[in-house]
């Protein structure tokens, strides 16, 4: 597999873009390698500038649930673009998008479009603070909610303490109202509610954690959170930027039957265009400007080309709910296959996931939270990742990311991948 063109581009990129990339994980830093520069994508495949083809298990980190460059979506985007790229004024597509989201996700009574998941979370938190008149937010160790100041809080054993920023450039003051609890540990949440009685505006969670690998909520964890929030007058925010329209058309909240007060979306609702959204209870959303006193705005929010892409993808999903059944079957095939291989070679692996989200953790421990996720052997992951990449299988270049499946993947392709994965262990013996 040649990669001279990618290498040359990376050398040029590093001179003019920090780290050579516009988002950190693209740099392949955690696998001590250099990124492949992608030229085009079609269906389940990526093609790089050196004309290598890869079966893609990243799906642009979530948006491409129908696979890449789907005809319907491409046509919708071209049609919208022919009418102009942005008007800075209200459009019909925005109304249709809001109506569609409200009809597909029962907890969403009103919704505001933004340009990224980060923006959606930042705005939902502001809304929760405005609504409750409280400042503190509980998040969970290992959950990612975008890169806004208040959400960049050290994930770890900070249960009893205020937040410590995870990044330079974030003032302590921006993070001190962010409290960290442990995923799947209701007691850690209860304790924070007790310690900060009457101060907690909201609990924010990825209902299926997909940014520390994939960690599923235990039975009753999400309902327990719902009860705690209701009891203490705090809002429950589901960050469904990954799970929204992926676990099912109604997201994780429908899948697990738990109703949050606010939700955030991104990725799939933009179909690859830069889109986010936040929404939920009408009495909270009516506080957003211009109808209320919580300010939030965006020059390009609800952009007509982005709305066309997102609407096209959501409408397709709504009309083809069998996509979710297919993804469930493919996901089970992938997870079972990986588990069988691990058993056959006594490999130190734990496989997690649901539907089209999976993770192969290189640890023997059951993974239920950030602490247990971190027991994974990242050196072994790196060896495995590079082995698979060299054979044309493109996974996220980090142990702590999801394996994404799309409607464009076939069971033959999954089996081919499993074959290559098995060879990795045969080769190590
Ligand atoms: C990707 C992601 C975000 C941030 O979205 P961006 O569009 O990258 O800003 C927020 N929350 C979750 C759960 C995500 O996976």
From 120, 210, 241, 404, give the residue whose CB has the most ligand 1 atoms within 8 Å, as the site to mutate.
241
**Which tokens in the block code for residue 258?**
């738990």
Q: Indicate if 267 belongs to the active site.
A: yes
Q: Residue 204: which of 137, 257, 142 has the closest Cα? A: 137
Position 157 scores a pLDDT of 32
Q: What is the Å distance from ligand 1's center to 80 Cα?
A: 26
pTM beyond 0.95, yes or no:
yes
Q: What is the Å distance from ligand 1's center to 142 Cα?
A: 13
- pLDDT band for position 161 (cuts 50, 70, 90): very low
Query: Could you report the per-residue pLDDT of 227-269, keeping only the tens digit for each?
Result: 999 999 999 999 999 999 999 999 999 999 999 999 999 999 9
Helices (H), 17-137: 71-81, 92-104, 117-132
Share the mean pLDDT of the chain: 95
Which atom of ligand 1 approaches the CA of 23 most closely?
8
Q: Indicate if 239 belongs to the active site.
A: yes
Position 160 scores a pLDDT of 38
Max Cα separation, the chain? Answer: 65
**Which tokens in the block code for residue 116?**
């990224």
State the sign of the Cα–Cα–Cα–Cα dihedral 139, 140, 145, 150: positive
- Provide mean pLDDT across the span 201-210: 98
Q: Residue 210: which of 131, 145, 139 has the closest Cα? A: 145
Please check the confidence at residue 159 and state whether its pLDDT lies above 60: no
Q: What is the Å distance from ligand 1's center to 269 Cα?
A: 12
Give the long-range contacts of residues 316-319, CB within 8 A, separation 24 or more. Answer: 316/66, 316/70, 316/72, 316/73, 317/65, 317/66, 317/245, 317/249, 318/100, 318/104, 318/249
Indicate which residue of 136, 139, 267, 326 is catalytic. 267
| Count of alpha carbons within 13 angstroms of residue 244, beta-carbon side | 36
Q: Residue 158: which of 195, 199, 128 has the closest Cα? A: 195
Please check the confidence at residue 86 and state whether its pLDDT lies above 80: yes
For residues 394 and 33, what is the distance between their CA atoms, to the nearest angstrom? 13
The Cα angle at residue 291 between residues 287 and 292, in degrees rounded to 5: 35
If you take atom 8 of ligand 1, which residue's CA is the nearest one?
117
Instruction: Output phi, psi for 155, to 5 deg.
Output: -85, 135
For residues 104 and 111, what is the distance between their CA atoms, to the nearest angstrom? 12
For residues 166 and 149, what is the distance between their CA atoms, to the nearest angstrom? 9
Q: What is the Å distance from ligand 1's center to 37 Cα?
A: 22
Which atom of ligand 1 approaches the CA of 239 most closely?
13
State the sign of the Cα–Cα–Cα–Cα dihedral 64, 69, 72, 76: positive
Q: What are the residue boundaries of the structural domains of the chain, listed by start?
A: 4-69+321-428, 71-319
Q: Are strands 45-48 and 357-361 parallel, antiparallel or unpaired?
A: unpaired
Q: What is the Å distance from ligand 1's center to 311 Cα?
A: 19
From 267, 271, 306, give the residue whose CB has the most ligand 1 atoms within 8 Å, as the site to mutate.
267
- Provide mean pLDDT across the span 341-353: 98
Please check the confidence at residue 154 and state whether its pLDDT lies above 70: no
From 58, 123, 242, give the residue whose CB has the most ligand 1 atoms within 8 Å, as the site to mutate.
242
- Provide mean pLDDT across the span 413-429: 96
Please check the confidence at residue 101 and state whether its pLDDT lies above 80: yes
Position 166 scores a pLDDT of 79
If you take atom 11 of ligand 1, which residue's CA is the nearest one?
145
The H or E element spanning position 212 is: none
Ranges of beta strands (E only) in 17-102 are 38-42, 45-48, 53-56
- Provide mean pLDDT across the span 91-113: 98
From 120, 146, 242, 268, give the residue whose CB has the most ligand 1 atoms within 8 Å, as the site to mutate.
146
What fold characterizes domain 71-319? 3.40.640
- Provide mean pLDDT across the span 75-94: 98
Residues in the chain: 429
If you take atom 5 of ligand 1, which residue's CA is the nearest one?
117
- pLDDT band for position 163 (cuts 50, 70, 90): low
Same fold, 4-69+321-428 and 71-319: no
Contacts of 118 (CB under 8 A, 6+ apart): 145, 146, 147, 148, 276
- 314 close to 248: Cβ distance less than 8 angstroms: no
Indicate which residue of 177, 239, 261, 369 is catalytic. 239
Please check the confidence at residue 362 and state whether its pLDDT lies above 80: yes
- 154 close to 180: Cβ distance less than 8 angstroms: yes
For residues 322 and 42, what is the distance between their CA atoms, to the nearest angstrom? 21
Please list every protein residue whose CB sits less than 6 Å from any atom of ligand 1: 116-118, 121, 144-146, 206, 211, 239, 241-242, 266, 276
For residues 233 and 284, what is the distance between their CA atoms, to the nearest angstrom? 13
| Burial of residue 407, with CB atoms counted within 10 A of its CB: 0-12 exposed, 13-18 middle, 19 or more buried | buried
The angle, 0 to 180 degrees and rounded to 10, between the axes of the packed helices 304-319 and 92-104 is 30
Please check the confidence at residue 156 and state whether its pLDDT lies above 60: no
Q: What is the Å distance from ligand 1's center to 82 Cα?
A: 30
What fold characterizes domain 4-69+321-428? 3.90.1150
- 370 close to 155: Cβ distance less than 8 angstroms: yes
Q: What is the Å distance from ligand 1's center to 390 Cα?
A: 28
For residues 59 and 396, what is the distance between their CA atoms, to the nearest angstrom? 9
Q: Residue 246: which of 326, 108, 144, 356 has the closest Cα? A: 356
| Count of alpha carbons within 13 angstroms of residue 200, beta-carbon side | 30
Indicate which residue of 48, 54, 136, 144 is catalytic. 144
CA 355 to chain centre: 14
Q: What is the Å distance from ligand 1's center to 345 Cα?
A: 36
- pLDDT band for position 175 (cuts 50, 70, 90): confident
Q: Is the model more confident about 166 or about 322?
A: 322
- pLDDT band for position 158 (cuts 50, 70, 90): very low
If you take atom 6 of ligand 1, which residue's CA is the nearest one?
117
Position 164 scores a pLDDT of 66
Q: Indicate if 407 belongs to the active site.
A: no
């Amino acid at each position: 597999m040649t990669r001279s063109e990618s290498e040359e581009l990376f050398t040029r990129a590093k001179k003019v873009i920090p780290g050579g990339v516009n988002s950190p994980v693209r740099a392949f830093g955690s696998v001590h390698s250099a990124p492949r520069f992608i030229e085009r994508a079609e269906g389940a495949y990526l093609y790089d500038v050196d004309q290598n083809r890869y079966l893609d298990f990243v799906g642009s980190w979530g948006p491409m649930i129908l696979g890449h460059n789907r005809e319907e979506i491409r046509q919708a985007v071209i049609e919208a673009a022919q009418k102009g790229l942005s008007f800075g004024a209200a459009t019909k597509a925005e109304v249709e998008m809001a109506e569609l989201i409200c009809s597909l996700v029962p907890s969403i009574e009103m919704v505001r479009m933004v340009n990224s998941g980060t923006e959606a979370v930042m705005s939902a938190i502001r809304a929760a603070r405005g609504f409750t008149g409280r400042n503190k937010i509980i998040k969970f160790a290992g959950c990612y909610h975008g890169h806004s100041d208040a959400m960049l809080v050290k994930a770890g054993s900070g249960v009893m303490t205020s937040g410590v920023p995870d990044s330079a450039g974030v003032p302590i003051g921006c993070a001190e109202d962010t409290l960290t609890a442990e995923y799947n540990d209701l007691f850690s949440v209860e304790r924070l509610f007790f310690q900060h009685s009457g101060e907690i505006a909201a609990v924010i969670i990825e209902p299926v954690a997909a940014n520390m690998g994939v960690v599923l909520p235990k039975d009753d964890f999400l309902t327990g959170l719902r009860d705690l929030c209701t009891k203490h007058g705090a809002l429950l925010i589901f960050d469904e930027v990954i799970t929204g329209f992926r676990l099912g058309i109604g997201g994780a909240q429908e899948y697990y039957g738990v109703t949050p007060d606010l939700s955030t979306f991104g990725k799939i609702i933009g179909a690859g265009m830069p889109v986010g959204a936040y929404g939920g209870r009408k009495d909270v959303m009516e506080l957003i400007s211009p109808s209320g006193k919580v300010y939030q705005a965006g020059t390009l929010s609800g952009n007509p080309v982005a709305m066309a892409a997102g609407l096209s993808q959501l409408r397709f999903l709504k009309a083809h709910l069998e996509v979710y059944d297919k993804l469930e079957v493919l996901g089970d095939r992938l997870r079972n296959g990986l588990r069988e291989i691990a058993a056959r070679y006594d490999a130190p692996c734990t496989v997690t996931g649901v539907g089209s989200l999976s993770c192969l953790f290189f640890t023997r421990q059951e993974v239920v939270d950030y602490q247990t996720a971190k027991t994974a052997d990242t050196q072994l992951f790196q060896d495995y990742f590079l082995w698979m990449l060299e054979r044309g299988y493109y996974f996220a270049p980090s142990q702590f990311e999801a394996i994404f499946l799309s409607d464009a993947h076939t069971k033959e392709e999954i089996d081919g991948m499993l074959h290559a994965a098995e060879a990795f262990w045969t080769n190590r013996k």
